[in-house]
Structure 1
Amino acid sequence: MIHGILNVYKEQGYTSHDVVAKLRGITKQKKIGHTGTLDPDAEGVLPICLGSATKICSLLTDRSKTYRTVLLLGQTTDTQDVSGNCLESQSVSHLTESQVKEAILKFEGEYEQVPPMYSALKVNGKKLYELAREGKTVERSARKVVIHDIKIEKIELPRVWMEVSCSKGTYIRTLCNDIGGVLGTGGCMEKLKRTRVGELSIENSLTLGEIQNHMEEGTLNEILLPVDHFFRKYRKITVGKEEERFLYNGNSFFIPHLKEKPDDKELVRMYNREGNFIALYRYSGKTERFETEKMFLNDRQ
């Protein structure tokens, strides 16, 4: 089985599920998961986890993200992007660049964002977009999101090109809609490209075609990020023969020969004697034992 993370460049026209399905065919492996959806019209970075790396899908989903987007002012749609049905069109001829900049930059920092109806969030076990397609609208609670930074690259009204860095759970479509609301003209998202998820950038991403070429040439390991890549900030510990049997079973244990003890409750990366990353453990200063946090590999994989 293949274990690791692929930095995939999702092209327009594919759903995130399409990408997973195609990679299952390319790698001949079922255990694959994605880390947060991108709409079919959007493109850019989509981290894909294979094998034991699927256990960190939620961790990658929680990372901050950066997008490049085009805001179209003067148009409101039911999907909050240009793919939806137009609900209202208004003139933007009265707007000035300074007014637009001021309204946009007000969204930097924390703000309460109401998720769009056309989203994959679930209400009573049903996805919102499924309800929306049935013509239903349900009340959604606002969620706190953080806009870390907005760089306005160009303004040619009614369009604004900008780069947005934000927290998990932020809908750029909704941000565009909300900016239009503040300006009183309405607004929607015209284009979207995700350029960063955590430390994964678009510069190092690969299309499905490029990944398939690596697979056929037997060079997939050259582009596959190891599971422990995202835990490099944690201390690395290699266990001895006596501790390996406890490590493989996820049991707690102590290491008598350890020269430098970790801090209490410190997370560490555990490796077997062959140098394979096995698990994350947390050190207990009280008992001087390492306790399981999350298992990734064991001797049966």
Structure 2
Amino acid sequence: MLDKPAGLSSNQALQRAKRLYFAAKAGHTGSLDPLATGVLPLCFGEATKFSQYLLDADKAYASTFVLGEQRSTGDAEGEVLAAADASALTREQVEEALGAFRGAIEQVPSMYSALKHGGQPLYKLARKGQEVERAARPVVIHRLELLDFRPGERAEVDVALECSKGTYVRSIAEDLGTALGCGGYVSALRRTRAGPFGLDRCVTLAALEALKDAERLADMDALLLPADTALDALPTVRLTESGGYYLRQGQPVMVPNAPHNGMVRVALETGEFLGVGEILDDGRVAPRRLIVTGR
């Protein structure tokens, strides 16, 4: 788990970590803007097969919104499009307005998001001065707590946010500013959790680079988590050695006492992780994404 620094894109942070580990294949599980910091799970090698389970996981953030200004990107890096004096705003007004963004809501993605249109990320189109129609998408805001309010012509709001995948924090800041009639944008954003992983399990790029410079390769390896760590939310089924053999050949196998449906994490009775399977209608487990072991 990487604690991404500000000023780097998620891909730039990934490439630096990939080089440090001499990884042939790597991927990250959910982009963070260059402005943002915090939890960025990275997958290396065979673990990239299971990155989708972290992409689909809930996320948590700590963020600061500035009220009284609208910016082109919805964050501090954009150009000022409009300004209004927010000094009359009160904490109570902000708290009341935040209520509309809790629970199941619909959200129009920002033009500066990584969402793709015609194979191109929206932010690339936005930088060319293009804007496309974006349909509102359902998201769930599990928690949106007002932590602090600092009044002024440019009022500042600190919030803690827990949300479903696909939530755009900058859109909440912009929509809150619109609701309050003064505009708003994100000035700071830190992801504090992605799925089961929090900041307490993260390492910085600087720390990784220091370990590499000191040739403490074993310590670097100790920071890597097993490939199935991303699958903690899935039930586990265990196979005999022969069952594992047939599963690796692509054949569904019967497993006693398996769940009735859904995706499962598959391991041998010895504990060796095999991959992800799916329960078929007849109760057998079919392989879906398996670890390649070279057997």
TM-score > 0.5, shorter chain as reference: yes
Assess if the C-alpha contact under 8 Å between 1:263 and 1:285 holds in 2: no
| CA–CA distance in structure 1, aligned partners of residues 28 and 198 of structure 2 | 16
Q: Are residue 142 (structure 1) and residue 136 (structure 2) matched?
A: yes
| CA–CA distance in structure 2, aligned partners of residues 167 and 266 of structure 1 | 20
Q: Are residue 230 (structure 1) and residue 226 (structure 2) matched?
A: no
The Cα shift of 1:213 comes to: 4.6
* Partner residue, 1:290: 285
| CA–CA distance in structure 2, aligned partners of residues 290 and 178 of structure 1 | 45
Q: Unmatched 5+ residue regions in structure 1?
A: 1-6
1:204 paired residue among 182, 201, 206 = 201
| CA–CA distance in structure 2, aligned partners of residues 119 and 18 of structure 1 | 17
Which SS does the other structure have where 1:66 is aligned?
strand
Which SS does the other structure have where 2:253 is aligned?
coil
The Cα shift of 1:299 comes to: 3.5
Q: What are the residue-to-residue correspondences of 1:90-109 with 2, within 5 Å?
A: 90-109=84-103
| CA–CA distance in structure 2, aligned partners of residues 28 and 182 of structure 1 | 49
Stretch of structure 1 that moved more, 222-231 or 160-169: 222-231
Q: Are residue 190 (structure 1) and residue 187 (structure 2) matched?
A: yes
Distance 1:271 1:111, change over 3 A: closer
The Cα shift of 1:273 comes to: 6.2
Partner deviation per Cα, 1:236-294 (whole Å, 9 max, x = no partner): 41422x33421222222236xxxx522432644333465321122334473x5332232
Assess if the C-alpha contact under 8 Å between 1:70 and 1:160 holds in 2: yes
Q: What are the residue-to-residue correspondences of 1:260-279 with 2, within 5 Å?
A: 260-265=256-261, 267-272=263-268, 275-279=271-275
| CA–CA distance in structure 2, aligned partners of residues 212 and 199 of structure 1 | 25
Stretch of structure 1 that moved more, 122-131 or 69-78: 122-131
Q: Are residue 16 (structure 1) and residue 10 (structure 2) matched?
A: yes
* Partner residue, 1:87: 81
The Cα shift of 1:167 comes to: 1.0
Assess if the C-alpha contact under 8 Å between 1:235 and 1:267 holds in 2: no
Distance 1:88 1:28, change over 3 A: same
* Partner residue, 1:3: none
- Aligned-residue Cα RMSD (Å) equals 1.9
* Partner residue, 2:21: 27
1:154 paired residue among 138, 148, 158 = 148
1:170 paired residue among 153, 158, 167 = 167
Partner deviation per Cα, 1:199-249 (whole Å, 9 max, x = no partner): 100122101132345563212342222122233451341422x33421222
When normalised by structure 2's length, the TM-score is 0.91
| CA–CA distance in structure 1, aligned partners of residues 126 and 253 of structure 2 | 52
The Cα shift of 1:174 comes to: 0.9
Which SS does the other structure have where 1:106 is aligned?
helix
* Partner residue, 1:254: 254
Distance 1:274 1:139, change over 3 A: same
Partner deviation per Cα, 1:42-76 (whole Å, 9 max, x = no partner): 10000001111111222101111111111100000
What is the aligned length? 288
What amino acid sits opposite 1:254 in the alignment?
Answer: M
* Partner residue, 1:280: 276
| CA–CA distance in structure 2, aligned partners of residues 283 and 133 of structure 1 | 45
* Partner residue, 2:35: 41
Distance 1:235 1:213, change over 3 A: same
* Partner residue, 1:239: 240
Assess if the C-alpha contact under 8 Å between 1:239 and 1:270 holds in 2: no
Q: Unmatched 5+ residue regions in structure 2?
A: none
Q: Are residue 51 (structure 1) and residue 45 (structure 2) matched?
A: yes
Stretch of structure 1 that moved more, 161-170 or 207-216: 207-216
Assess if the C-alpha contact under 8 Å between 2:235 and 2:265 holds in 1: yes
The Cα shift of 1:153 comes to: 0.9
What amino acid sits opposite 2:236 in the alignment?
Answer: R
| CA–CA distance in structure 2, aligned partners of residues 203 and 156 of structure 1 | 28
The Cα shift of 1:77 comes to: 0.6
